Structure 1
Amino acid sequence: MKLLEPWKLALIVLAVVLFLALVIGLLVYFLLFDEMYFYSGTFTVTNVQYNPSMEKKTSKEFKDLSTKVETLMTRTFQASILNKKYIKSHVVHLNPDARGVAVEVVLMFHFSSNDNREALWERVNSILRRRLQTNTGYLEIDPSTFKLAGMKMENGVNLLNNSCGLRISKLNSFTDRISGGMSAQDGEWPWQTSLQLSGIHRCGATLISDTWLVTAAHCFRGQKNPREWTASFGTVVRPPKMRRFIRNIIVHEKYSDNNADHDYDVAVVQLSAPIEFTNDIRMVCLPEAFYVFPHNTTCFVTGWGALSFDGPSINNLQQAEVKIIDTNICNREEVYNGLITPGMVCAGYLEGKVDACQGDSGGPLVTADRRGIWYLVGIVSWGDECAKRNKPGVYTRVTYYRDWIAAKTGI
């Protein structure tokens, strides 16, 4: 029998070792971290006065206090023995209290199924109680009001699924193509929707509640009959994770199909039945009308549009990182020569290369705040071809039409 050459034998041994290392690594991971535990913590912040606007989770007051609370929770557990098992915290309610503001925060951890639940609760409770009695930074917290309770996993997951702007965290880098982007994974952009005319992808849209989408008005040129449209969800158009018929299409009253200047390019779409939120299908947050997204803010645009001008739409959702461009720059003669109005926002790069393209229309331009909550900045509207130099993408500015969206949907 002929013996293998030494270099071939070494390659085979190396391949076997790498395979075994991968298998062992996966087994260790799933044996050690196979369960997600949820806890509900409540306490009163005494140096902040309750404001009725805190009832709205997208308000500045809610965001400011929640950011401080979540930062405190994260720093507490990252400096503790549970630092490798802590996932994140999320403030779910701010309520009035005679002494200030009553906070309810959900805490998430990875634990082994072999761990003792009572012992884990004791450890989490001890770490938090000790921190609240010592240094709480900018927040003054009454330690006597602190309570910690376990939550059933399904209740915790359901609570997070019904919170806007949350998504599954991904470790991959966001670099290049919608035109110049990369494929998205399940749960990365759970609000992304495909609007289909007679079963064929026509436009993107964004899920803003369990029954409403927001998209571009120009998607419905000559095709406003809701019975001819469907909406699908998930990262692939075929087969989708979920599909809904359309009950109603509301196009902005001032939009015209012959609208050469692209103003009022916004519409809302009502689904035939409510969506059941999951890890992969969730709603984005809508910013308040007064909110300003500064130029140079990092955003992401997603869609199933063409990878190049006049190319075909694709089946796998694409994503690309872009930057908001100052309107004054976008209105320069060599860019869009004054065509950018207050209801629009430019995003991309003056050098081109990365952009939305045909078939991405109506889809979301989003950015995350300091809490990791995602907000809808814009709606893919128009541009000069795709990814051309000095011709960045132009989006409908959501804050400009925020009151109109609220008037039509109640959101």
Structure 2
Amino acid sequence: MQLRVSFQTGKRGKGETAVSPSSSSPPSPASFCLPAHLGWHSQPFAALQQTAVSLQNQTEEAIRPIISHPAQSQPTRPNTITLHPDIAVGMLRTESAAAGRIWLLLRHLDTVGCGWVPIAEARDALTQKQYATRVCGRRQLRNLLAQGEGLFWVRENGRIWLRSLPKVAAALGINKLSSKPVALSVSVLTERIGTVRAHFYAGFHSGRTHSKPGATVMKPIARSTIQKITHVHPRIQRRYEKTAKVKSQRNFSVGASYAKETAQTAAWQRGTAVFPLTDKNGRFGRPGKTYMAWQLPNSYTGPHQLKTSNRRKRINRALTDLMPQGTTGNDQCMSVTEPEPFVESGVRYCENGRFAAKTIRRDQIEAAYWPELREGGVQMWHELKKP
């Protein structure tokens, strides 16, 4: 009897020791469901549990960088904006370059593309010194916002609602976007307004650049023609070209042999651009022979890079719908009052002699020119007259 009591007491003591709260770690629920020889203090089971827990921790650490969601960052603004030279020239013609600059900067600030910018945000970004897009003071900004109201934007409910490209082009009197878009640095828009106007003017020359590789010869264009298109005086043109670093190239053409009779006739036709040219190296014929030569209008290369013009067709279709019937319009005709751009009366500049002959027969013009190989900083052109 005493042996039975002592055995039960010892068994009860062992059980209390197994579930003693003074253990280093609490037992898992699985240990209560297992036999005594596989309980919490069983070395094989404890080793198996530790291995499973360590594998689970390693798996969670490996998966955490993959499934973690990074904090959403604000969309970054590009360093350049897309400038359509036709719209830039329209701003110069209507003397709205100052308000047009604000419109371009607001489009740059609209990173989401929702079509509007809060007035408070625009005021801070355009007038505060700590912003890189500061261009003027608060008072001048109020004047510019009033000047561009209805043309570039509409203010309502504390927001500046920006007008789209087709609507701005139509408001500026542009019937069609014919030039390729260019990339204009945002830092240029924050400089003085004279520099901004110079780059608007330079964008006209940048948009005429050939996008084909190897087509490096720019077509000549007279300053009088540029003045008709841009409404910029030739004296101001030279100033803008110096400010925006527009490169110019001189062009010449060689005609028939020199004679006093032909020289007088050519002087009446071409003015002071005619001069006698002695061919010492025999480039055009017998060495030492003198020819009649004259200077053609210069060619110009703008400082901006061309951008893809995928949206230009869509914008032109929208312009067609915005214009009244018969303007560009719904009958797809060019405006009668708008001259054909980049074309001088009676003269065409072609890529080669075959196109020059075809152009003379088709357009019934006086003469056509095509370039030869360029040597140095001078470009020579061949002339083909109407028979």
- Fold agreement, TM-score > 0.5: no
More helix by share: 2
**Larger of the two Rg values belongs to structure:** 2
> TM-score of the superposition, structure 2-length normalised?
0.26
Q: Which has the higher strand share?
A: 1
Q: Give the TM-score of the pair, scaled to structure 1.
A: 0.25
